[in-house]
Structure 1
Amino acid sequence: METSLYLTLLISGFYTPSSCLHQYHFITNYMNWTEAQSYCRAHYTDLATVDDMEDQNRLITSVSFDDWFWIGLKKGDSMKWHWSLADRRFYREGETEFRNWDTGTPQNGNCAFMSTSGLWNNTSCDDQHHFLCYDGKQDTNLTYVLIQENKTWIDAQSYCRQYHTDLVRVRNQTENTEINKKITLRGLPVWIGLFLDSWRWSDQSDSSFRNWWPGWFIPDQKFSCTRVSSYRFSSFYTKWINTPCENYEPFICYEALQLKRQVVRVKMTQRDQHLNLREPAVQDAIVQEIRNKLKEQGLPADTKVTWKKQPDGKVFHKEEEGSPKKEEEEKKMKRMMTKREL
């Protein structure tokens, strides 16, 4: 895959910078969860929502002393399946809904594993299995990392977040087949990052990010509100527990910052004619290279890059030589490049 041959064209013609979605504000007043929610909605946007580990780290650095404090996660009435890897940059439309359940599943159990057949089953999160991590770090060529240690689902999640990115997510059948190849020879099922819960964010966000303390959380516990620890020298530092909503705690609000976006049409020359640009894995690899180049060029670390699909659902369209449409696109590209130079 000769990505480097057309990266220059992509970098010069396509990027989507954005500011951080959440700016966190630590409130030292002690209130119950409902009072804290009302305060945040009156003065900011809402009680804190956390989308990913980057958000989690920013949230913790907003706290000035060691304590427990409320965030905006509260237990709801209906159950829903989520992916542990909550970052929306990893998913196209509909990909968070991909499932490959075995016949008769899901039944009992809030955590999912993949069998050696590639089909999914669910079981108690306290069961112990080998597990598969997804590694999306820029300093490694690894993608799927098989960990041959028996751990509970929560412990497996913590391990993957510490040493890689997160428990593996499966967005489509192609990825399911690729992941299945990693475990077939071992002959044992593995945890994947799919879990079932009823927890909802105060601002009605669809974020599936959770960071429960492994030694505490029980999904069916009656305690319905969530607080996070800032005790720096404890085993539950940055971890969440669910406690009675009537408790009085300090809390974190968030303020939604306006996104700055730029959508640019790209002209790209394909050097490798055997490369299928419609493959999600190929498109993801290109985007990852773009992110790396943007970082090298000094753009903010939280710059996000995504492909924008056309009305027909495709990302790329082939243009014929000498077509009026092609000539018009070239004029548009020149105008956009001139504006950037100014």
Structure 2
Amino acid sequence: MQTGIKPQVVLVHGIGGPRDVEAERRDWKIALAEGARAAGHADAISGLTMDWTADTVFAHYADLFAREGAQGAAVAGLDDEEAAELTLAVAAEVIEALLASPEYAGDEQLGRLLVQAQPTPVNAEGRPRQDQGVGASARRASAVCTKLARVPGVQKGLRRVSAAQWLGILSQPGRYLRRKDFATLPDGRSAALDERIRARVLQHLDPGRPAIVIAHSLGSVVALEALAGYEGQVALFLTVGSPIAMNALVWQRLRPSPPAVPRTVERWVDFWDGDDPVVPLRRLTELMAPNAAGVRPEPVPLDSRRLWTHPATDYLRRREVAAPVMETLARLSAAS
């Protein structure tokens, strides 16, 4: 345990377009403060919101998904079959989660959409059937995502996001996990999109200071992989709305493999809402190997009883989510 050093809180966002970093940092802290008040930590809220007890930073990487001058399918990263198929896999997992909920159980429209989201038919050699045509997966991914965006509840949850933006958002996990989209760094080295995204997160972490890392959605995948080689103390790793356990899309593509709790993580709490369609039915605590200290993800289910629950701030407002953050901050502050 390090003493006499101000802790850091690193917020890692999920899927979505570029955002106002300072506005997002403020909104996440306000939501967390609401949860802290509900959890009985009203006296510590000022320390959190004013950065007195810890320095809070928002690790933003959404702009790295943008492609300058790109049009059509390339905007969403669907300019090759692999990217389109991965996007379909994301959509299929979301649809399956919706169908597993009481609100959508037996929904015929979603059932048909799930069939449409299945992998592209292949021939005896394992190659896409010729009758599918060039770009068939991209067209199918576009159609599936557009229809999914019109489903009641999903449509409300998307607020003002257009169908085209929704397609781009759903393509982000696949684009990260296919380990491509190379770009030249300032030092002249070429790096894939996933490496550049992890670098963005790591640049906000100071190994000389204890950290609380709060990661949402795709951000939980990014943070898990970034922390795998991180040497600094992570007093608390908190994940909300995480798709890490998505079998075909995420779990089998994680690095390093097999996945394990990062070495320097002292506690990992994983929150999921039963109405969150991005969270798979498989649970992290049953899959993730512990680190050398025996740390495993601690599963905490939530129940919002809403049609669509996924935004980070919805989670952070919950007393169950805020409590371990405030308790860890209090412990770190006492030690300093």
TM-score by length of 1: 0.22
> Which one has the bigger helix percentage?
2
> Which one has the bigger strand percentage?
1
Q: Larger RCO: Structure 1 or Structure 2 (Cα < 8 Å, ≥ 6 residues apart)?
A: 1
Higher CA-based Rg: 1
TM-score by length of 2: 0.23
